Amino acid sequence: MNSEVCLLVRRLSLFTALLVGVLSLVACQLTGPSSKGLSTGALNVDKPAKQETVAAPHVETEPVLIVRQPAPLATVSEKHFVIPVARSGDFAPDELDDYVLRIIEESRQWAFVAELQIHGHTDSEGSELSNMLLSIRRANRVAERFEELGVEAGLLLIEAHGETQAIADNTTLDGRIANRRIEIVLIGNAGKMADEQDQYDTVVAELRAQGEKP
């Protein structure tokens, strides 16, 4: 009986010691420093410097292309010229220069030249597409000659009409020859020349009204 009591006492003592150890361990964890309470200073962690965004300075830039209104002209004049195409369908160099130089010389007497239009025309022989391409080629040839003789390319406007603006009967040879042409339209302010032309037209109109030939 005494031996059983001694064994029980030992077991109770062992259990008590084990219980005290567990309680002590739990108490240490509860009273230790919390990871949530650690500061960045204790960990020696440097915060990255705050980057400041600097806005780029606003620079006023002028557009590359500016459309400006032209200055008003007192008188806008138009004058039409016709450059015929040879029977061969091309231009004879000397004859072409005679027409182009005459137009240039007259344009120099104008107060202001705004535009020099070059209109290409053909007869109705061939297809509409081929005639359109032919009128472009002829108009370009005349425009190139104007440039070679000193006219600024910015003044030249090329338009191709093919067979669409006939001025004569395409069923006759003479009509087809008349339709193969380059029309030049000089646009600007003729200045004194316009006043003289108006006076001439007025006199001619009066003479015709009286039945007289000008």
CB atoms inside a 10 Å sphere around CB 143: 20
- The answer to whether 174 and 168 are in contact (CB under 8 A) is yes
Q: Name the one residue in this structure whose structure tokens are 């000089």.
A: 186
Q: Show Cβ contacts of residue 137 under 8 Å, excluding neighbours closer than 6 positions.
A: 120
101/35: higher pLDDT? 101
pLDDT tens column, 64-112: 222 234 445 457 889 999 999 876 677 877 889 999 999 999 998 888 8
Sketch the domain layout of the chain as residue ranges.
77-189
Asked if residue 5 has pLDDT above 80, the reply is: no
- The answer to whether 155 and 113 are in contact (CB under 8 A) is yes
Q: Name the one residue in this structure whose structure tokens are 């007259």.
A: 106
Average pLDDT, the chain: 75
How many Å apart are CA 134 and CA 128, to the nearest integer? 10
Coil vs helix vs strand at 156: strand
Report residue 139 as tokens. 């108009």
CATH number (3.30.360.10, 3.30.200.20, 3.40.50.300, 3.30.1330.60) of 77-189 reads 3.30.1330.60
pLDDT tens column, 160-197: 999 999 999 999 999 999 999 999 999 998 876 555 66
What are the beta bridge partners of residue 181?
84, 121
- The answer to whether 153 and 147 are in contact (CB under 8 A) is yes
Asked if residue 43 has pLDDT above 50, the reply is: no
CB atoms inside a 10 Å sphere around CB 156: 18
